[in-house]
Amino acid sequence: MATEHSKSRLDRVVAEARQAREAREKGYREQALKLYPWVCGRCAREFTRANLHELTVHHRDHNHDNNPPDGSNWELLCLYCHDNEHSRYIDAAHGDAASDTGNKTTTYNPFADLGSLLKNKK
């Protein structure tokens, strides 16, 4: 038989769990999951409750404080596409290797002599 102390502790845990759920539902991830279909906006991979944790909310303007209630700054992306998007954003912000070299092109061709090497092998 449950003691009064354990019953009050259980009631407190249940109340805290409900409050946490309500807070999450007010968060932008829960809002985005209600607004948009559970599909990656880039690769079109579909998600179910079983793998929903792999679907992320991407802020289009990269500002995590910009969360309009209509979801216009959000898009759902899978983990892989989300990582790719942020990598592209970082590369663009810092410049890529081509811009660091002044857009010089290389003249080295590693396969230039491949035909003669294959002929000599026979």
pLDDT digits (tens, 9 = 90+) for 66-112: 889 899 999 999 999 999 998 888 887 777 555 555 555 667 777 77
- How far apart CA 4 and CA 15 sit, in angstroms, is 17
Structure tokens that stand for 79 in this block: 């983990």
User: At which residue do the structure tokens 């259980």 appear?
Assistant: 10
| Average pLDDT rounded to a whole number, residues 51-74 | 91
How much is the pTM? Answer: 0.57
Most confidently predicted of 35-39, 58-62, 67-71? 35-39
Amino acid at 33: L
CB 48 within 8 A of CB 12: no
Chain-centre distance for alpha carbon 66: 17
